[in-house]
């Protein structure tokens, strides 16, 4: 008997050069136990994380996954990762996998608890953006809750923070900001330096501002590069959420270690959102850059006080082995 599908999609396997391995697409399905790719299955227990970029779905697996040899042949070399090119709605597929994955994790939590423990301690909440289950058991109550599946922040009433899912920790810098595609374009020939390169990043508006400041004057030599830089800067500067108008400029200062100037911007953002974990994280990253670890630790503590399960801050704490001091 064929298992009922939660979600059905068409896909191609992608290699390490971001090229599809075959022009003929296959049928994939998400069901209650895992993700089925053609005739092969990945169990949810083996999935560590799911991301998407453009039309690609990236499925990161735990070490030594229980997958078939045929499916193992599609792992990216030196990474426990399978990349799929999905024809339509990759974000919907990501949410479908994550919703079921989050349910599995909550089920595992419940199975290890007695009836009395479930009644007294078990807590969960569904993310208002992706509808994944967030396990809140053992967490202190804080003003914000973080969804590890879509990286959204929302309050205890289930309302997304200003800017919604567009604002999150930058995968390139770690700073909380609006995230999008930005291009580091360099085209110049100078006496002591020359460059012709173009690289597109999924990164913060602040990093786009830095690309402009570093490259615009040099690219003005030929003009073409300056046009690309200016267009990208306009994209990074437009339609920012009013609550975070000063955030990007503050991030630029912090990324350069100019914390006096950064503080003037971050302080005004915190006047409207005093417990925001992302802004306190930015403070901490700026202070770490100039070696002021005590000030950084203070803001990491405030970040966790704002959101007890804020993963970007927890990752920094693990890196600097400060978890015990926060706890």
Domains and CATH numbers, the chain: 7-102 (2.30.29.30), 166-326 (1.25.40.10)
Determine the Cα–Cα distance for residues 295 and 284; give it in Å rounded to an integer. Answer: 7
Task: Say whether 50 sits in a helix, a strand or coil.
Answer: strand
3-state class of 135 per DSSP? Answer: strand
- Give the pLDDT score at 188: 79
Q: How far apart, in whole angstroms, are the C-alpha atoms of residue 140 and residue 65?
A: 33
Q: From CA 220, how far away is CA 38, in angstroms rounded?
A: 51
CA 65-66-69 angle, to 5 degrees, is 100
| Model pLDDT, residue 52 | 87
- The C-alpha atoms of residue 149 and residue 101 are separated, in whole angstroms, by 9
- Let me know: does 286 contact 259? Beta carbons within 8 Å: yes
Tokens 């810098």 map to which residue? 173
Which positions of the chain have pLDDT values less than 50?
1
Predicted local confidence at residue 129, as pLDDT = 93
Selection from 5, 277, 300 nearest residue 142 by Cα: 277
Q: Give per-residue pLDDT as tens, 62-86.
A: 998 999 999 999 999 988 999 999 9
Q: Is 120 exposed, middle or buried (0-12, 13-18, 19+ CB in 10 A)?
A: exposed
pLDDT given at position 322: 54
Angle CA(313)–CA(303)–CA(262) in degrees, nearest 5?
A: 95
Structure confidence by residue, pLDDT tens digits, 121-179: 999 999 999 999 999 999 999 999 999 999 999 998 999 999 988 999 999 999 999 99
Residue-level pLDDT at 321: 63
The per-residue pLDDT for 191 is: 64
The DSSP letter of residue 80 is S
Report pTM.
Answer: 0.88
Q: What is the pLDDT of residue 151?
A: 94
């Amino acid at each position: 008997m064929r298992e009922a599908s939660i979600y059905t999609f068409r896909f191609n396997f992608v290699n390490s050069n971001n090229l599809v391995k075959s022009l003929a697409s296959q049928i994939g399905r998400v069901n209650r136990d895992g993700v089925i790719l053609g005739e092969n299955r990945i169990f949810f227990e083996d999935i560590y994380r799911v991301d998407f970029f453009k039309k690609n779905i990236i499925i990161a697996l735990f070490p030594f996954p229980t997958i078939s040899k045929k499916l193992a042949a599609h792992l990216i070399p030196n990474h426990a990762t399978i990349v799929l090119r999905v024809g339509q709605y990759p974000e919907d597929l990501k949410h479908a996998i994550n919703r079921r994955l989050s349910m599995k994790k909550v089920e595992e939590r419940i199975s290890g608890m007695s009836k009395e423990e479930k009644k007294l301690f078990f807590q969960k909440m569904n993310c208002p953006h992706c509808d994944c289950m967030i396990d809140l058991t053992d967490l202190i109550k804080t003003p914000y809750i973080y969804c590890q599946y879509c990286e959204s922040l929302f309050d205890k009433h289930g309302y997304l923070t200003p800017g919604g899912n567009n604002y999150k920790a930058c995968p390139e810098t770690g700073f909380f900001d609006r995230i999008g595609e930005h291009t580091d374009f360099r085209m110049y020939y100078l006496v002591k330096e020359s460059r012709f390169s173009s690289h597109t990043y999924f990164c913060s508006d602040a990093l786009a501002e830095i690309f402009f400041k570093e490259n615009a004057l040099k690219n003005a030599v030929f003009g073409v590069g300056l046009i690309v830089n200016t267009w990208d800067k306009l994209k990074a500067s437009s339609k920012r959420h009013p609550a975070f108008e000063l955030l990007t400029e503050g991030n630029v200062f912090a990324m350069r270690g100019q914390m006096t100037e950064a503080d003037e911007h971050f302080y005004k953002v915190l006047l409207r959102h005093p417990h925001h974990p992302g802004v306190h994280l930015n403070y901490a990253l700026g202070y770490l850059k100039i070696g002021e670890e005590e000030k950084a630790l203070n803001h990491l503590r405030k970040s966790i006080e704002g959101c007890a399960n804020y993963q970007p801050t927890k990752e920094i704490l693990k890196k600097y082995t400060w978890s015990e001091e926060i706890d």
